[in-house]
């Protein structure tokens, strides 16, 4: 009953109920008060999800020792599963459990997956050995079947739980606003803008703070915080249960759409009557009792109207199975969904671009000089620039653009959803054009300096000639040093320890400081070929592979001078080892070679 009519409070008019199926009062449930719990949940949940997803390719390559292609493939396979499972969760919620209970069940599964992942990165037995003690040129130890099973098992349990939470949390938020109440309907339009703001705020925290902790503190801390955040988010959501409005499950729209299409195909030879009133439809009271809408038939996609024809050719209804008779409203709802298919098809290419942000772009970020003063930016944190720009744009759009455009267009949204999507795709086109131009310039620079074959980029190390780098990997002054650019591992700083595989990639490797000069003679003694006793460690002190652009001499093609500096420290060897390597224990040597490369 309306306020003021008998002084009683007003019930919602969109069919909202509580968990027991009773109608709810507008003043006691729903609205922004209930949505505050849902928004806080989404903040922590997005922090947890992107705390795993943002740096996943780095963990697979550096900790599980997978190649870049294999790791990127695993990341995209998992991401694809994460986006497919919500289809299953949506069907379960709409047809069986309802949104609330499907969400609660999905949250429990989600939390189990996060706990399993945290154990996988924390327990030493569930991680392969590190590459620090592996000899140069040797492969890193591969993860065992158990280690891969536990880690990927946690990932795909998260994907399964995500299928129960993701399609329902946003719709639960939308259910808190009554479409039949104009003020709440207007609030609902603003809700989704601030919903996206919360999502990007959680992503920003993940791609900055959590990624930094994973790269510089420990993966245990970097995974433990998102797991704790997810626990907090579930508790917050459950705390708001007395304030939520709920919708009764009314069947899956996908099942209805499939039924309409199948019925239309089954009755493909049945003519559609000229009078649309002869098509099958229920009474208006049926829809009003369920707080639904009855739709009138349209001429678009007229073939689907056959699903609402009451009788077959000749007027005999007995020849038609019962499932082939659909209502006009079901047919029109199916038409609306089918009309979205071309729009969804246009989203394929933009989604493929987004997929690169978590794989290729992160690995490319490793090759960049990411130092800001003394601070070293993690590669996965580069995505924070995208998130920050989205946060700013959402505020500007909701608080300034929409009110200004609304006065002109008289549209509550400011601009239509189709116009908004078109504008976003136009901006993506501009972004990709700029990206293409920048990448073309980068490749052109690499070709001019003969760097394409090396797979590296011109990351500035120092304006020093090759001899300016000592055997221990440090710099020293050399008389007459010219402005040649030394190409070290892209992105490697002076104090950064390289990862295993750097030597194999034709770049550089440096040992920890305490293992560089085990002999009192130091690097100088070894460069002169001095013998050292067998009691010294069996380690390779340094190996530098430097490619330096040079001007061609007369009669020589333009190219790159490649200098290879290899210093061997003493080690114990047996007779077989001497014969294999052709030298005795305690020898050391320095070798260099020139290899012209096409510019």
Q: Rounded mean pLDDT of 214-231?
A: 93
DSSP secondary structure code for residue 333 in this structure = H
Q: Is residue 220's pLDDT more than 60?
A: yes
pLDDT of 475 reads 39
Provide the percentage of residues in the chain whose pLDDT is more than 90: 28
Q: How many residues does the chain have?
A: 599
Q: Rounded mean pLDDT of 343-353?
A: 78
Higher-pLDDT residue of 416 and 227 is: 227
Instruction: Please tell me the distance from the alpha carbon of residue 342 to that of residue 333, in angstroms, as a whole number.
Output: 16
- Distance spanning both ends of the chain, measured CA to CA: 82
Q: Rounded mean pLDDT of 479-500?
A: 37
Higher-pLDDT residue of 45 and 322 is: 45
Instruction: Note the helical H segments in 449-540.
Output: 522-527
Q: Is residue 339's pLDDT more than 80?
A: yes
Instruction: Please tell me the distance from the alpha carbon of residue 130 to that of residue 142, in angstroms, as a whole number.
Output: 10
Q: 261, exposed or middle or buried, with CB in 10 Å at 0-12, 13-18, 19+?
A: middle
Higher-pLDDT residue of 400 and 591 is: 400
Instruction: Please tell me the distance from the alpha carbon of residue 590 to that of residue 567, in angstroms, as a whole number.
Output: 6
pLDDT band at 136 (very low <50, low <70, confident <90, very high): low
Instruction: Please tell me the distance from the alpha carbon of residue 546 to that of residue 229, in angstroms, as a whole number.
Output: 46
DSSP reduced 3-state for 27: coil
Instruction: Please tell me the distance from the alpha carbon of residue 90 to that of residue 17, in angstroms, as a whole number.
Output: 19
pLDDT of 89 reads 93
Structural domains of the chain ordered from first start: 16-130+140-247 (1.20.1250.20), 253-312+319-340 (no CATH), 347-446 (no CATH)
> What are φ and ψ of residue 469, in 5° steps?
-105, 125
Q: Are 173 and 191 in contact (CB under 8 A)?
A: yes
pLDDT of 123 reads 94
DSSP reduced 3-state for 564: strand
**Digit-coded pLDDT (tens) for 242-267:** 999 998 888 888 888 999 999 999 99
Pairing label, strands 540-550, 371-372: unpaired
Instruction: Please tell me the distance from the alpha carbon of residue 363 to that of residue 356, in angstroms, as a whole number.
Output: 10
pLDDT of 453 reads 45
In this structure, is the dihedral angle defined by the CA atoms of residues 14, 20, 26 and 30, taken in order, positive or negative?
A: negative
Pairing label, strands 508-510, 540-550: antiparallel
Q: Is residue 478's pLDDT more than 60?
A: no
Statement: the pTM of the whole predicted model exceeds 0.85: no
Instruction: Please tell me the distance from the alpha carbon of residue 93 to that of residue 250, in angstroms, as a whole number.
Output: 9
Residue among 568, 576, 586, 575 at smallest CA distance from 137: 568
Higher-pLDDT residue of 201 and 351 is: 201
Higher-pLDDT residue of 163 and 418 is: 163
Q: Rounded mean pLDDT of 569-574?
A: 38
Higher-pLDDT residue of 90 and 561 is: 90
Please give the distance of CA 326 from its chain centroid, rounded to a whole number: 41
**Digit-coded pLDDT (tens) for 5-39:** 444 568 888 888 999 889 899 888 999 899 999 99
């Amino acid at each position: 009953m309306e306020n003021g009519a008998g002084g009683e409070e007003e019930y919602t008019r969109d069919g909202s109920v509580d968990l027991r199926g009773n109608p709810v009062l507008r003043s006691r449930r729903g609205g922004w008060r209930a949505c505050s719990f849902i928004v806080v949940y989404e903040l922590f949940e997005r922090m947890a999800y992107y705390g795993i997803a943002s740096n996943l390719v780095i963990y697979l390559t550096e900790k599980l020792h997978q190649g870049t292609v294999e790791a990127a493939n695993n990341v995209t396979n998992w991401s694809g599963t994460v986006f497919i499972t919500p289809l299953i969760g949506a069907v379960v919620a709409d047809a069986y459990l309802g949104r609330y209970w499907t969400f609660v069940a999905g949250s429990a599964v989600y939390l189990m997956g996060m706990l399993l992942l945290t154990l996988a990165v924390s327990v030493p037995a569930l991680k392969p050995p590190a590459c620090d003690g592996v000899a140069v040129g040797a492969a890193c130890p591969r993860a065992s079947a158990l280690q891969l099973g536990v880690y990927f098992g946690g990932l795909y349990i998260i994907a399964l739980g995500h299928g129960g939470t993701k399609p329902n949390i946003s719709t639960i938020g939308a259910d808190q606003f009554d479409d039949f109440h104009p003020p709440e309907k207007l609030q609902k339009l603003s809700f989704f803008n601030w919903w996206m703001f919360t999502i990007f705020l959680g992503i920003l925290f993940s791609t900055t703070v959590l990624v930094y902790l994973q790269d510089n503190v420990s993966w245990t801390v970097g995974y433990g915080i998102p797991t704790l955040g997810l626990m907090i988010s579930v508790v917050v959501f459950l705390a708001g249960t007395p304030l939520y409005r709920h919708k009764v499950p009314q069947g899956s729209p996908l099942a209805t759409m499939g039924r309409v299409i199948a019925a239309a195909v089954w009755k493909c030879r049945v003519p559609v009557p000229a009078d649309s009133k002869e098509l099958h439809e229920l009474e208006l009271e049926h829809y009003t009792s369920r707080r639904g809408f009855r739709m009138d038939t349209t001429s678009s996609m007229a073939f689907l109207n056959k699903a609402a024809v009451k009788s077959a050719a000749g007027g005999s209804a007995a020849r038609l199975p019962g499932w082939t008779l659909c209502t006009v409203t079901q047919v029109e709802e199916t038409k609306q969904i089918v009309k979205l298919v071309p729009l969804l098809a246009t989203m394929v290419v933009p989604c493929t671009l987004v997929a690169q942000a978590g794989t290729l772009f992160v690995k490319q970020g490793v090759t960049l000089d990411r130092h800001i003063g003394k601070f070293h930016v993690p590669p996965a944190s580069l995505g924070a620039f995208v998130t920050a720009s989205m946060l700013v744009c959402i505020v500007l759009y909701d608080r300034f653009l929409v009110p200004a455009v609304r006065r002109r267009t008289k549209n509550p949204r400011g601009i239509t959803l189709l116009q908004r999507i078109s504008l976003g795709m136009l901006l993506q086109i501009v972004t990709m054009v700029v990206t293409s131009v920048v990448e073309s310039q980068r490749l052109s620079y690499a070709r001019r300096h003969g760097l394409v074959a090396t797979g590296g980029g011109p990351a500035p190390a120092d304006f020093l000639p090759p001899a300016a780098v000592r055997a221990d990997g440090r710099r020293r002054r050399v008389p007459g040093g010219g402005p040649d650019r030394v190409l070290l591992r892209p992105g490697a700083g002076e104090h950064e320890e390289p990862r295993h595989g750097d030597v194999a990639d034709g770049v550089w490797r440096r040992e920890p400081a305490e293992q560089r000069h085990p002999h009192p003679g130091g690097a100088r003694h070894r460069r002169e070929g001095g013998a050292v006793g067998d009691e010294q460690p069996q380690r390779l002190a340094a190996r530098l592979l430097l490619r330096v652009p040079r001007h061609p001499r007369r009669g020589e093609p333009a190219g790159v001078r490649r200098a290879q500096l290899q210093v061997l420290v003493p080690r114990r060897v047996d007779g077989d080892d001497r014969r294999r390597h052709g030298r005795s224990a305690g020898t050391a040597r320095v070798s260099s070679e020139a290899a012209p490369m096409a510019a």
